[in-house]
Amino acid sequence: MDAIGVDIGGTKIAAGVVGEDGTLRAQTRHDTDPTDPAAIEAAVIAAVAELRDGHDVGAVGVAAAGYISPRRDGVVFAPNIAWRDYPLRERLSHGIDLPMVVENDANAAGWAEFRFGRGRHVEHMVMATVGTGLGGAIIADGRLLRGAFGAAGEIGHMEMVPSGHYCGCGHEGCWEMYASGAP
């Protein structure tokens, strides 16, 4: 049975159908407005409906940049999208009748790398995702480490420089402010 993965970014969503062996079978993209959560949800629902057609899909994984609730059903805080304590899974369930989890985008990327990529022969790994920010995922004993607040892998927000550059997360000197794709 296949699964659909949806990556919600700041200005677009990218979604794909993935087989049990990690093979990407189909994909689609939709532009979105980060200030309009309703439009983002509509785009995700449309993308899933589009991709389900012709595939035997059993579940949906939704990845987003931000702090994800430990129950993996919502977004506590997203730096680039207008979500605060946002029940994303419940909102999407109005248009998607499949089992669904919400996960941090770096955790999702790290898990994919662990299952199907460079990490497939190891039990412990850390993945760093360098983009607009610096994200991370930690796999320990073959399990994704989330921690008490679901943010164990947020390596980009470890304080590297005391009293350093102010970060969008509200702290100073975060690693992300010194090592990321942002100018």
The residues that touch Zn ion, with contacts defined as CB under 5 A, are: 157, 167, 169, 171, 174
Least distance CB 171 / Zn ion (angstroms) = 5
Least distance CB 87 / Zn ion (angstroms) = 24
DSSP H helical ranges for the chain: 37-52, 88-92, 105-116
> How far is residue 117's CA from residue 110's CA, in Å, rounded to a whole number?
9
Query: Which of residues 67 and 114 has its CB atom nearest to Zn ion in the complex?
Result: 67
What's the Rg (C-alpha) of the chain? 16
Least distance CB 142 / Zn ion (angstroms) = 29
> How far is residue 29's CA from residue 62's CA, in Å, rounded to a whole number?
14
Least distance CB 43 / Zn ion (angstroms) = 28
Encoded amino acid at 142, one letter:
G
Query: Which of residues 77 and 87 has its CB atom nearest to Zn ion in the complex?
Result: 77
CB half-sphere exposure, 144, CA atoms < 13 A: 23
Burial degree of 92 (CB within 10 A; 0-12, 13-18, 19+) = buried
> How far is residue 180's CA from residue 133's CA, in Å, rounded to a whole number?
5
Query: Which of residues 101 and 169 has its CB atom nearest to Zn ion in the complex?
Result: 169
Query: Which of residues 116 and 166 has its CB atom nearest to Zn ion in the complex?
Result: 166
Least distance CB 166 / Zn ion (angstroms) = 9
Query: Which of residues 89 and 157 has its CB atom nearest to Zn ion in the complex?
Result: 157
